[in-house]
Structure 1
């Protein structure tokens, strides 16, 4: 690094030096922001020297605009010095990272969160061996998948203890590096520093000439050097970056033909491999290249050669060379590279860039390459390749299919906006009914929970019927599941729910295999959890979770079990799904499973496990970009906190979920919020407020009414009714629940109703009801069993049977203490105190 590159940057150099000084704090992230040529890379080089002098291992990667389509190119460059340690990582993170870097494929495409974690594990192991610094040049030009990983690492730099410095062009889309990242914005050099630099490069200039160059350069160090070298004559008008590009392009145009071809191929290639560039340039030239041809480009100060790599002096050189060439010359360069490059995706991309207009061969190659990179977990690269492939495809039907396939990949990346754009483009083609149905399904994936949209539910049912008629029952099931989820998250009314179930039953009549598909059972359960509870429970009872090997199917079955209130079976199915999803590294689906486990484990009484599921589920929902599941997990966590006696945490956590629930009018989540707040009020000792929250859960006029979700609160509502003296109102609700119990065999209702009957009965009539409740098998329901013991003990005390009451209450207290039910332990103590 030459010192003149840093003239006028004393403050920035000092700031960077502190990162590796004696009082430095590990885990800092600094972003160098500025226009092209302003000196970002020179400062990054200074950072490298500081880090190496401090004994840090330096990991470095550079974003290259031509590599933006090449998946994980930047990540491979960053981690290549650590890949020898990849075998020491835990599975499936090791497998996911290997797959992303093209060193082997996993059973299914690795998810972004798993690749992120694999990279973090590898870097963490490096930090454990010694201090590490990560340097990223031109962050804005990293391929999107590498940029995502770098952002993930940057947001955890403080926890992992490494330093990170990155450069980014001003105005470029930002990578999320976290709230703790510091930005150093590089402005123009001061006038004295600019004059000092100009004197070093062009000390013999006259005053007028010097003033003109200083005005032209606008304090940009790269511009000062080029102007001093005589480039001002070629700059012309326009923005400074464009003028510099013309300068570099003009300099390249003055070289011999062989050197020009070398520069053009290097600019079109995403690689810096001199052998690859030379071979393609020889094809373009039609003759072999010599070392003199390479040296001509080096002497023109456009490139440099290092360790078998051909490197542009500055990114503007690359873009300047490309802009100076004609379209036909650029296409010929890509065609030459397509013959030389070995990596299938790059070869297909260069082939596509070598043609204009429809070219079915190029489109087919790119479509095949897209499938391969998708298998590596590079969904967005696959989307870009398929969209380009569709543009090269002459047939309307095949073009639509490729756009829809691209939309499927965009779903994997969590990009609802991209899915909408691609589906819309596909729908403009001549499209068959089956592809039209697929487009509707893809759109629906990002539209769960639209409130009260009866028309959309009906439309999905019709489209599902079209898909079934076209011979694709699986697509029909996907569409019906989307419709059913709308009925679950938000109130769509009985007619919409009935339409979904009717369509599912018609589908099953037409195709016998449909009934054995987990999606079919999930559709019935989610759309009509009460009216179809008997069918769903019977089907679930015939299953043995240990015999099932498909975690996606287990997740759907667990969802169905939870929907109808078969919580014990849901726990078994979801536990099995969790185990298999962890083994396969499927983080996106694991997020759903963990969220459902929070509420299932909370209802059953396994609160330590529920807390663990909530903590991990929230982290994964945020990492994988699933806001609906973030809100769902948050509110379930609020319920667990209320159960454990932490009212403040329950209120605060419920409030976090209440905002998106009210904005989206998602009465399912609002019902969960009401339960959490009712628990929090119980902990605070405000029985009236608790009763109001619980009562609203059974009121169809309430915003938080959800016929199934309210069943979680049956026993809690009965308790609150007794504690507030509203027994008559409690019995009225109980009458409605008794009618419901004749419709559905929901175990959730079956274990709580006997409790509610006994608690709400007159003391003189309650004896047989307690006997009946105590005869219920509650071996898998410790939370219900503990409260039943407490209520029974209290009734024994009130009816003058102190010895029996003491024994029962002591046993109840032990059960409640083991659960961590602080509020109910206090109630047991209060009952025992009256017997003392």
Structure 2
């Protein structure tokens, strides 16, 4: 394809994304590295080799670079290796320089003849001179750089003819000052033979789990639940495998997966048909057995199943073809789609025999043997079902929740009896809930509901399904499911009742709806009556987690529900009671971990923030190691929230990133939204004034915030703090005021009140104290006579800012002198800051300076650069001499207040680039660049573009 870059200039173009197209998912860092190379190549020679297996996205990334280069006015020359042309000398090089061959009139005759002869454009009069030809190509490219920079992009260099590659590398080594970028892409993990070892290499590994999940979810008809997790596991992070396996599931019709769980389609088989057909029959059979085995199956097991003894030569043809790698203990497929193709290209009878032979080879390992027995089975078989259930039990003991759910799901599928099927599905539901995949839970519940007749099992299943629906953000549906089962099928087992009411409490916290909160006391009372009526020695059913039978764990779960329903003072009493319980003997067993999580949540309600951090941190590590993200999913936001409040911002940021990944992979909708809101909150606390763009994605439009008021409260606070950070007090007041109803009642009983001081600060800046005063009154009423220390301090701070009838100084002093405020350093710092401003306006500069010095120290320790800069400016205004380190921070503060993208825009504009040129580099429109600059001028204290260079120089010292 030929594009016109400018009059008289012709460039070739690889197929790549046009402006505005979506960039490859999960390759942001790699794209940045490639584009940086291309950008640097506009000034001096650059070379980069992109390496990756089939389907990792090499061609797409090269296409992005080509598109970027074209848009920036670079002349682009492209070529692509072709296996059918590998024996033709200079075939690839001819593709590359073809657009330049009409411009040879200026060249010396000897070089021109060498070029024309080598490319068959003229008869060769004398034997070719290799050096003359190489120099001619080098001269041709140097001439092309006189009008614009040049990008040489060659894809699939492993399939280029050797002569072309030799010349291209000769040229790359001799470019010294020309603006040329050489971008090469090759299949494999190491560069092809002949590529110098000193060339920079960019390897494309598998996508991160979060990126692979995002890519899968972007496909039409993407699977959910167990099929989704299976696909992600089998695709091994390869983008092509994700796309093709998803397409296979769509084309296979109603049954999303084949019987053994592998997507099958003729398209995948055809991708590798030629390579597989070329192998000897014995090697094809060996690959079938390797494909039928698990990815971690030992080589000795495969050899036993094949009855091949110790002769490993059967694998050699596949190794030479690059399809597999054989290590000391395993056979590894080079590409996940090769495994799929090698398995499904064989007839069903051969696949069944492979499973039987593997089962026989694993006779002494029944847990692994069970999977192959299932693979060989045709219909319901109780022996297979029992073997899989035993496998699930072993996996659960080892902490493998994913394997547990899979084994139980398959055991239910092979169960001939509905009662056994329901029982096994109920166990699968519980395990899937612990694993933390709500879509999988819903799918299992649909199968369970179709066969179950046991009311006790229903209670177990409803617990898991209600939890899953809540994670999906469907709080009303989740609570209704629990309430209906509670009313019509009230569980006889006390542990089931305890679990149901605990989950109801978690849903009520998230929903924030009074209709849910009102039901909790009655449910708690009924649980108490059930516990009292239970005869001593009564055993729980096998489906119940044994830890629920422990009174200390059950008490902690009931305390969570009481804290959700009751006022903060009640939570404080509950926390004291829980911490007085006897210490468990094993601090890492499952029962203790659940007790720690529950106690941590009560501490959150009681504003025992430091204790909450310690408890949740201790519980989170072993639960995460076991893959049990279900029990922690509802408290992820709690943990991050408390880390932010107590000033542990780096730890909070790490947890946000980690939690974002598995919440995306496992489809935890509202957990993703909470994490987005908390990330914006963190940026705002640090002083990043970029608007909360993370709070405008598709998830936010698909979730009813009216029934997810905890998430709504976090979103409104995040937006309010972001607006305060950028100086938009009107927007800040609007968002923070929305945390309370028209009459001042908190929208969320717990979270709204914690923003009352932020609302007061925005109201004071706008002179709207009277509008916010009744909110403070409503908060006081809601908190009762014994509010927590934290809420007391926040209410004093708010009263000092907006209660005109109050003793302002008294409230300020009460907000800052309480030693308990040390738990919440940012809130205390803001109170000190506002107190210092009040003192300075009262001409009490010495007292103001004392407060400001403390604020600067605390803000610097936290990394709250905006607050530190504000305190430094106030300190200077009070007449104090500013310390050199403080002056340096203030000099850098204007830039530090900007986002990373805004800083980049400012630096490019300071270097003289136009809005259009900056936009081309950053993939933004000129209008967007202009808007960013318009917004940053006031923050930098300037009024025009030509002042930007001075700001940059000051920030550098």
Structures share a fold, TM > 0.5? yes
Partner SS for 1:669: helix
Identify the residue that residue 101 of structure 1 maps to in structure 2: none
Q: Does 1:172 find its partner at 2:248?
A: yes
Identify the residue that residue 503 of structure 1 maps to in structure 2: 523
Deviation of residue 688 (structure 1)?
2.5
**Cα deviation digits, residues 760-784 of structure 1 (max 9, x gap):** 3448833443444445332322223
- Contact 1:390/1:399 (CA < 8 Å) preserved in 2? yes
Unmatched runs of 5 consecutive residues or more in structure 2: 1-13, 15-33, 35-45, 58-82, 85-155, 160-186, 197-204, 213-226, 251-264, 315-323, 533-549, 880-957
Identify the residue that residue 519 of structure 1 maps to in structure 2: 557
- Contact 2:288/2:342 (CA < 8 Å) preserved in 1? no
Identify the residue that residue 3 of structure 2 maps to in structure 1: none
Identify the residue that residue 388 of structure 2 maps to in structure 1: 366
Q: Does 1:659 find its partner at 2:700?
A: yes
Unmatched runs of 5 consecutive residues or more in structure 1: 1-10, 12-18, 34-38, 57-77, 80-111, 117-142, 156-163, 175-184, 189-216, 227-247, 253-258, 283-287, 295-303
Aligned partner (choices 447, 450, 455) of residue 428 of structure 1? 450
Identify the residue that residue 807 of structure 1 maps to in structure 2: 850
Aligned partner (choices 478, 481, 485) of residue 463 of structure 1? 485
Identify the residue that residue 441 of structure 2 maps to in structure 1: 419
**Cα deviation digits, residues 110-139 of structure 1 (max 9, x gap):** xx989x9xxxxxxxxxxxxxxxxxxxxxxx
Deviation of residue 448 (structure 1)?
0.7
Deviation of residue 420 (structure 1)?
2.6
Identify the residue that residue 629 of structure 1 maps to in structure 2: 671
Pair 1:634–1:766, CA change in 2 (3 A): same
Aligned partner (choices 494, 498, 505) of residue 484 of structure 1? 505
Identify the residue that residue 729 of structure 1 maps to in structure 2: 771
C-alpha distance in 1 between matches for 2:349 and 2:480: 57
Partner SS for 2:54: strand
Identify the residue that residue 183 of structure 2 maps to in structure 1: none
Q: Does 1:442 find its partner at 2:464?
A: yes
Deviation of residue 638 (structure 1)?
0.8
Deviation of residue 643 (structure 1)?
1.6
C-alpha distance in 1 between matches for 2:367 and 2:632: 30
**Cα deviation digits, residues 428-476 of structure 1 (max 9, x gap):** 2252111111221222222116778657525414535788742241x33
Aligned partner (choices 703, 723, 726) of residue 681 of structure 1? 723
Once the two structures are superposed, the pairs formed by residues 525-540 of structure 1 within 5 Å of their partners are: 525-528=563-566, 530=568, 532-539=570-577
Pair 1:424–1:534, CA change in 2 (3 A): same
Partner SS for 2:469: coil
Partner SS for 1:400: helix
Identify the residue that residue 107 of structure 1 maps to in structure 2: none
Once the two structures are superposed, the pairs formed by residues 106-185 of structure 1 within 5 Å of their partners are: 148=232, 151=235, 154=238, 171-173=247-249
C-alpha distance in 1 between matches for 2:354 and 2:517: 59
C-alpha distance in 1 between matches for 2:825 and 2:329: 68
- Contact 1:697/1:706 (CA < 8 Å) preserved in 2? yes
Partner SS for 1:25: strand
* Bigger share in helix: 1
Partner SS for 1:745: coil
C-alpha distance in 1 between matches for 2:286 and 2:852: 86
Aligned partner (choices 646, 649, 655) of residue 607 of structure 1? 649
C-alpha distance in 2 between matches for 1:417 and 1:764: 53
Larger mean CA deviation between 369-378 and 388-397 belongs to 369-378
C-alpha distance in 1 between matches for 2:209 and 2:242: 22
Once the two structures are superposed, the pairs formed by residues 567-582 of structure 1 within 5 Å of their partners are: 567-578=609-620, 580-581=622-623
Deviation of residue 364 (structure 1)?
1.5
C-alpha distance in 2 between matches for 1:355 and 1:408: 26
**Cα deviation digits, residues 532-590 of structure 1 (max 9, x gap):** 53543443564799995444432332233224544333223223334555676766767
Partner SS for 2:692: helix
Once the two structures are superposed, the pairs formed by residues 163-562 of structure 1 within 5 Å of their partners are: 171-173=247-249, 270=293, 322-323=347-348, 338-342=359-363, 343-352=365-374, 358-373=380-395, 382-411=404-433, 414-448=436-470, 457-461=479-483, 463-464=485-486, 469-473=491-495, 475-492=496-513, 494-511=514-531, 514=551, 516-517=553-554, 518-528=556-566, 530=568, 532-539=570-577, 542=580, 549=588, 550-562=592-604
C-alpha distance in 2 between matches for 1:819 and 1:653: 23
Q: Does 1:741 find its partner at 2:741?
A: no
TM-score (norm 2): 0.55
C-alpha distance in 1 between matches for 2:814 and 2:303: 87
Partner SS for 1:428: helix
Q: Does 1:760 find its partner at 2:796?
A: no
Partner SS for 2:799: helix
Deviation of residue 25 (structure 1)?
2.4
Q: Does 1:790 find its partner at 2:833?
A: yes
Deviation of residue 735 (structure 1)?
1.4
Identify the residue that residue 31 of structure 1 maps to in structure 2: 55
C-alpha distance in 2 between matches for 1:806 and 1:381: 62
C-alpha distance in 1 between matches for 2:483 and 2:515: 12
Pair 1:798–1:660, CA change in 2 (3 A): same
- Contact 1:533/1:564 (CA < 8 Å) preserved in 2? yes
